[in-house]
Chain A
Amino acid sequence: MAKKILVVDDEPQIVRLLSQRLRASGFDTYGANDGYQCLKVTKEVKPDLILLDIKMPAGGGIQAFNNLRSSIYTQNIPIIFITAYPGPEVEKQVKELGADGFFAKPFNSAELLEKIEALISE
């Protein structure tokens, strides 16, 4: 059965494009545009991996992450952050939170796919 990936970004174009890319690689994809939707969709579809934007309305990525990690049902879902605000500070924060990956926009989709495959196969 195809693995499910949830793409969360407040920019619908990103969600659309990433989904297209992932589907081309054989994943099932789901989308969300803010933190609240992210939690909702996660609850519904139980994705195998989440691509999470950090800066979003209605609960940013960090808040969504903390929520996901604090629930026993979702705490083991691998989460990769994708942000337009890279930098050592953010990187450090992400690392401390215990995220599984970190990508800066504009991302290289080949590298991103590689990382996703690695995390899902574990």
Chain B
Amino acid sequence: MNEKTKQFYNKILDELEYHKDFEHQLAESEQKYRSLTDNLSIGVYRNTPGNKGKFIEVNPALLKIFGYQDKEAFLKINVSDLYVNPNGRINVINKLEKQGFLKGEELKLKKKDGTIITCSISASTVKNEQGEITYYDGIIEDITERKNIEQALKANEVRFRKLFDSAHDAFMTIHPPKWNFTSGNPAMLKLFGIESINDYLKLHPVDLSPKKQPDGRLSSAKAKECIETALERGSYFFEWTHKRLNGEAFPATVLLTKVQIQDEIFLQATVRDISEQKKGEELREKLLETAQQLTKSLDLDKVLNQLSEQARSLLNSKGISIYMLEEDGETMKAIYSHYPPYDKEVMKTKININNSLTGQVIKNKKGQIFNDADSNPASFHIPGTPDRDDDHIIISPFIIEKNVIGTMNLYRREPQYTDDDLTIVNTFATYASTAIKNARTYNNLLEEMSVREKAEAKVRLSEEKYRTLTQNLNVGIYRVTPGSKGEFIEVNQALLDMFGYKNKEELNDLNPSNFYQDPSKRITYNKKLKDQGFIKNEEMIYVKSNGRPFIGSDTAIAVKDKNGEAIYYDGIIDDITERVALRNKLVENEEKYRSLVSNSPDIIMRVDQEGVINYINYTFAGEKPSSLIGKSIYELMPSEFHDKAKRAIRMVFRTGDRFSYEHIGVSAKEEVKWYRNNVGPIESQGEIVGATIIARDITEEKQIDVMKTEFISSVSHELRTPLAIIQESVAQVLDGLHGDLTDTQTDVLGPCIGDIKRLTRIINNLLDISKIEGQNVSITREMVDIVSLARNVLHSFELKAQYKDLELIFTTKIKKAELYIDHDRIIQVFMNLIGNSIKFTEKGHIELSIDKFENEIKCTVTDTGIGIPHKEQATVFDRFHQVGKAINTPDKGSGLGLSISKGIIDLHNGTIGVESELNKGSKFFFTLPIYSEDEILIDNIEKGITVATRKHIKLSLLIIRLNSYEAIKTQNGKELAKETTHKILEAFQEVIAPGEFSFIKGNNEVVLFSDITKRNIVSIVNTIEDIVNKFVSEFSAKITIDISYGYSVYPNDGDNAKELLQSAYKTLLSNNN
């Protein structure tokens, strides 16, 4: 027995002597706290051995547990009479004597009035000097109520967490009057194991529930109630046991939401399977219970041993050690270690708090996670243990009365510890702290004190324990008298903090109804407690001392006297304001998105980077959503669309922008349809984790488009003649052909010419667009450096920008990017985009940037202009779309520029898009795929072949090689040499016609694919040679042009691009020789 213990013991003895009523006071205080924390109350006893057994000493709590008022009467009964099972006592004694102790033994015992309660018993044997058993000492706890409240609290927390984890919820709708299922998502079919939506629509919610719910009520009756509640409140969240089609029952949460669309009222339900969480919850609960019971045991070694093992195995850790702080307050020594085979090393090494992670925790008085602890400079390596074993460490302090006395340290290699793990370790550490404290005091006292004193000490201990537990809980605990003018008898610090008062007296100065936002709630509270004896998780709005409201969840029971009259209400209030806010937000968001998804006629998919579907809302391509999941979206469209689709998805993942493409697909009814797929990113914590694809059926739109295109084409032709008449008439008058004009007449007619020109431009654009959209136009691809092209176009706007005082910025990280594109058409796109930006920007800048990706070039025009309203952004590329029709700008456009741009980019297999914020600016961007020379060549020849096959015509592939290229390059430079090659191309277009496929391959070859006949080839080549010679003679007298050519004819010389090229090159070589 050490000095400290002696002092402590003497102090108690002194107190006993000098305060005769100490025992009484202690009992009273103990009683107060004990009953206050009714659900945690503990009975302490000593009884005699033997089959029947008598109690020698019991505490008031024990009497209360068994419903006795009179201690003397209780001492007279046989211990065995308390057992429900007549042989119970014998079994328990056998077990106790065999192992010397009982820990957390759960037993069914009888109260005085016959009520059966569940108790947890921990006991040990007390022996005399001869080693005979003289008594059994033990602790009994009524765990019936505690379990309930604990569960209630936990359920609350878990419930909100579950809402949070929303991911794969099952959605469904049910309609009155029978409340049948009317729709459901794939997750719901999966959840219930239903094959098809049709099977499902035949079901009623009751078919998917067991006959009875866990509380014993009929599912049908309870379901009806839930539906009514939801209809009344607008929404209702509850737990429900469901049944899969195979009969398997599972716990779930259900959120019923009332939906009103026009006159129709129905319910939407969100069901989440919570069986996994339930399992986890049960496991944790069990561990928690063991831990709680363990802490009541007074054998410290055993307690720590078992607590540590529980913590270690629960967290899958390799090692655990318990450190206690030495008296010097600086060094720590391990008192327990499980870290085979290094326990010895751990146990013998002392750690200093100034150079260890454990020390950090002790100083911070807060549990901490140290993942990758080896790389933490503050970590202390225990000599003799492996370097890399304890990669991740979690340390939680033992705190007793605000002082840290030691720590619990857990180690593991993988995976990293999480905040959840920390919560668990903190819980264990709290229990370990209590156990250490109890055991320390108890062990010391046990040796010294008389039986009576020991019992008293135990009471004191438990009293202290509960007081500290009560004060440390961060839920508000109170005891209040019933009635409208209730008085708080006891409250804990957390409750005072919650309401913002200093002490109990301040609370009592006010009427309890003042604590409610709606004072009448106090009446409801009183009534409920009076009628049903308890309230559970009642959500109320309370008011703090500063007038601010908060939402609390109140659980309370009525404590009754022997006449059944309520004397107090004991309760717990938890501040759940944040949780409710979170929940409301979640519910709101959830509803918003759910109705968006369920009311959308579009097919909504979620895909990964490879285009694999992991969610789809509707049947598509004649297949059920369930069988589409896991498939690639490319399987849903013909191969000709794969390139565009892949590029769009790839760009979404790379840039986070939205892209779209159109494709032909098969609908749910197996009809061939056109779809426009809008692809957008799904972001999570700054990373793009997936893409949403919204596929819209645009078949009708397409058909109408064809009609529109034809209509526009014919109208614009029809307009040309009257326009020519007007223009010529006005021009003649203005030219003075019909006599001199007065100045006024000139003023009136003059501007007409400008307007006629504009009208002409509109008609030209219209024709252009109708051709582009009708795919009646081909692009002439040639190698172009898009960087210099873009820079030049931007420069050409310098004057216009200066006029409006706008800054033009050109940004790119690349010096050069050579693409095969239609030079003039791409300029047209840049002109349109930059022109628009300047038109709609009053101050700031226009930025043109070019980015290069692996297979794509992205050009972006950003301005600081008026922006585009969100709802208009989708239609901005439509014909005649002019943003904000009312905009008063002198520089009126045709409303076709963007539409034409889109057509041009489409022809290049690129994508075009816009992002804009009103009054902030717009960002227009387009991408162009980077094709290799061969890709272009082969693709275009194949296209030509398709046309030729359809029209049953022959096509000639002609290759003209400029043999003088090198000579010109040496004498006149590369530029002129290149120009000469280009002249061949131009000459061909001049001789034949523009629009035929012609292409410069390498530096000195021109490839042509045209319906020229074999007979014409020689004369064409001769003409071209003449033209080029003339061109060259303008800058060089020395060079005579030398060209050679080769050709092949489709289908005579081959039926594919490769064969035709091979064949043409063969004749080229033979012509050369």
Spell out A's residues near B (CB within 8 Å). Answer: 11, 13-14, 17-18, 20-21, 24, 84-89, 91-92, 95-96, 104-107, 109
Q: Max chain B CB contacts within 10 Å: which of A14, A18, A84?
A: A84
Contact of B723 among A86, A105, A109 (CB under 8 A): A105
8 contacts between A and B (CB under 8 A): A14-B721, A84-B718, A88-B777, A91-B993, A92-B995, A105-B721, A106-B760, A109-B728
Contact of A17 among B728, B777, B994, B996 (CB under 8 A): B728
- Residues of A within 8 Å of B729, CB to CB, are 17
- Residues of B within 8 Å of A21, CB to CB, are 728, 732, 737
Contact of A84 among B717, B732, B993 (CB under 8 A): B717
Is B126 an interface position by the 8 A CB rule?
no
Contact yes or no, A18 B993, CB < 8 A: no
Q: Which of B80-106 contact A (CB under 8 A)?
A: none
Is B767 an interface position by the 8 A CB rule?
yes
Contact of A107 among B724, B767, B771 (CB under 8 A): B724
Contact yes or no, B732 A17, CB < 8 A: yes
Is B756 an interface position by the 8 A CB rule?
yes
What separation, in Å, do the CA atoms of A20 and B725 have in the docked complex? Answer: 12
- Residues of B within 8 Å of A107, CB to CB, are 724, 728
Residue of A nearest to B994 (CB): A88
Query: Smallest distance from the beta carbon of A71 to chain B beta carbons, Å?
Result: 25
What separation, in Å, do the CA atoms of A106 and B718 have in the docked complex? Answer: 11
- Residues of B within 8 Å of A17, CB to CB, are 725, 728-729, 732
What separation, in Å, do the CA atoms of A109 and B727 have in the docked complex? Answer: 9
Contact yes or no, A24 B721, CB < 8 A: no
Residue of A nearest to B759 (CB): A106
Is B315 an interface position by the 8 A CB rule?
no
What separation, in Å, do the CA atoms of A107 and B731 have in the docked complex? Answer: 11
- Residues of B within 8 Å of A109, CB to CB, are 728, 731-732
Contact yes or no, A106 B994, CB < 8 A: no
What separation, in Å, do the CA atoms of A60 and B272 have in the docked complex? Answer: 74
Q: Max chain A CB contacts within 10 Å: which of B720, B723, B728, B993?
A: B728
Query: Smallest distance from the beta carbon of B315 to chain A beta carbons, Å?
Result: 75
Contact of A11 among B721, B756, B767, B771 (CB under 8 A): B721
Whether A20 touches B994, Cβ cut-off 8 Å, given contacts A14-B721, A105-B720, is no
Binary flags per residue of B703-745, CB closer than 8 Å to A gives 1, else 0: 0000000000000011011011111110110010100000000
Whether A88 touches B732, Cβ cut-off 8 Å, given contacts A14-B725, A21-B737, A105-B723, is no
What separation, in Å, do the CA atoms of A45 and B119 have in the docked complex? Answer: 127
What separation, in Å, do the CA atoms of A98 and B407 have in the docked complex? Answer: 100
Contact yes or no, B727 A106, CB < 8 A: yes
- Residues of B within 8 Å of A89, CB to CB, are 995
- Residues of B within 8 Å of A88, CB to CB, are 777, 993-995
Is B992 an interface position by the 8 A CB rule?
yes
Whether A95 touches B721, Cβ cut-off 8 Å, given contacts A17-B728, A106-B728, A109-B728, is no
- Residues of A within 8 Å of B760, CB to CB, are 106
- Residues of B within 8 Å of A92, CB to CB, are 992-996
Whether A95 touches B993, Cβ cut-off 8 Å, given contacts A11-B721, A14-B721, A87-B767, is yes
What separation, in Å, do the CA atoms of A108 and B550 have in the docked complex? Answer: 79
Contact yes or no, B723 A87, CB < 8 A: no
- Residues of B within 8 Å of A87, CB to CB, are 767, 771
- Residues of A within 8 Å of B721, CB to CB, are 11, 14, 84, 105
Contact yes or no, B724 A105, CB < 8 A: yes
Spell out B's residues near A (CB within 8 Å). Answer: 717-718, 720-721, 723-729, 731-732, 735, 737, 756, 760, 767, 771, 777, 992-996
What separation, in Å, do the CA atoms of A24 and B992 have in the docked complex? Answer: 36
Please name 7 further chain A to chain B contacts, defined as beta carbons within 8 Å, in addition to the given A21-B732, A106-B756, sorted by A numbering.
Answer: A11-B725, A21-B737, A85-B717, A88-B777, A88-B994, A106-B724, A107-B728
Contact yes or no, B720 A84, CB < 8 A: yes
What separation, in Å, do the CA atoms of A80 and B963 have in the docked complex? Answer: 38
What separation, in Å, do the CA atoms of A21 and B737 have in the docked complex? Answer: 8
Contact yes or no, A18 B717, CB < 8 A: no
Contact of B728 among A18, A95, A96 (CB under 8 A): A18
What separation, in Å, do the CA atoms of A84 and B476 have in the docked complex? Answer: 88
Residue of A nearest to B731 (CB): A109
- Residues of A within 8 Å of B994, CB to CB, are 88, 91-92
What separation, in Å, do the CA atoms of A86 and B771 have in the docked complex? Answer: 12
Residue of A nearest to B763 (CB): A106
Query: Smallest distance from the beta carbon of A98 to chain B beta carbons, Å?
Result: 12
What separation, in Å, do the CA atoms of A105 and B723 have in the docked complex? Answer: 8
Contact of A13 among B720, B725, B735, B993 (CB under 8 A): B725
Contact yes or no, A14 B724, CB < 8 A: yes
Contact of B720 among A20, A24, A104 (CB under 8 A): A104
What separation, in Å, do the CA atoms of A61 and B774 have in the docked complex? Answer: 26
What separation, in Å, do the CA atoms of A5 and B993 have in the docked complex? Answer: 28
Query: Smallest distance from the beta carbon of A14 to chain B beta carbons, Å?
Result: 6
What separation, in Å, do the CA atoms of A14 and B728 have in the docked complex? Answer: 9
Whether A106 touches B993, Cβ cut-off 8 Å, given contacts A17-B732, A88-B777, is no
Query: Smallest distance from the beta carbon of A104 to chain B beta carbons, Å?
Result: 7
What separation, in Å, do the CA atoms of A15 and B700 have in the docked complex? Answer: 43
- Residues of A within 8 Å of B993, CB to CB, are 88, 91-92, 95-96
What separation, in Å, do the CA atoms of A86 and B717 have in the docked complex? Answer: 8
Q: Max chain A CB contacts within 10 Å: which of B726, B735, B993, B996?
A: B993
What separation, in Å, do the CA atoms of A84 and B724 have in the docked complex? Answer: 9
- Residues of B within 8 Å of A86, CB to CB, are 767
- Residues of B within 8 Å of A85, CB to CB, are 717
Query: Smallest distance from the beta carbon of B739 to chain A beta carbons, Å?
Result: 12
What separation, in Å, do the CA atoms of A34 and B588 have in the docked complex? Answer: 72
Query: Smallest distance from the beta carbon of A81 to chain B beta carbons, Å?
Result: 13
Contact yes or no, B737 A20, CB < 8 A: yes
Query: Smallest distance from the beta carbon of B637 to chain A beta carbons, Å?
Result: 31
Query: Smallest distance from the beta carbon of B893 to chain A beta carbons, Å?
Result: 20
- Residues of A within 8 Å of B724, CB to CB, are 14, 84, 105-107
Residue of B nearest to A88 (CB): B995
Query: Smallest distance from the beta carbon of A8 to chain B beta carbons, Å?
Result: 13
Residue of B nearest to A112 (CB): B728
Residue of B nearest to A21 (CB): B732
- Residues of B within 8 Å of A106, CB to CB, are 720, 723-724, 726-728, 756, 760
- Residues of A within 8 Å of B725, CB to CB, are 11, 13-14, 17
What separation, in Å, do the CA atoms of A25 and B760 have in the docked complex? Answer: 25
What separation, in Å, do the CA atoms of A66 and B996 have in the docked complex? Answer: 24
What separation, in Å, do the CA atoms of A64 and B299 have in the docked complex? Answer: 119
What separation, in Å, do the CA atoms of A87 and B717 have in the docked complex? Answer: 11
Contact yes or no, A20 B771, CB < 8 A: no
- Residues of B within 8 Å of A20, CB to CB, are 732, 737
The 5 closest A-B pairs by CB, nearest first: A92-B993, A84-B720, A106-B724, A88-B995, A105-B724
Residue of B nearest to A89 (CB): B995
Residue of A nearest to B993 (CB): A92
Residue of B nearest to A90 (CB): B993
What separation, in Å, do the CA atoms of A58 and B732 have in the docked complex? Answer: 30
Query: Smallest distance from the beta carbon of B130 to chain A beta carbons, Å?
Result: 120
Query: Smallest distance from the beta carbon of A89 to chain B beta carbons, Å?
Result: 8
Residue of A nearest to B728 (CB): A17
What separation, in Å, do the CA atoms of A87 and B716 have in the docked complex? Answer: 12
What separation, in Å, do the CA atoms of A20 and B731 have in the docked complex? Answer: 12
- Residues of B within 8 Å of A13, CB to CB, are 725
What separation, in Å, do the CA atoms of A92 and B756 have in the docked complex? Answer: 27
Query: Smallest distance from the beta carbon of B1035 to chain A beta carbons, Å?
Result: 27
Residue of A nearest to B757 (CB): A106
Residue of B nearest to A84 (CB): B720
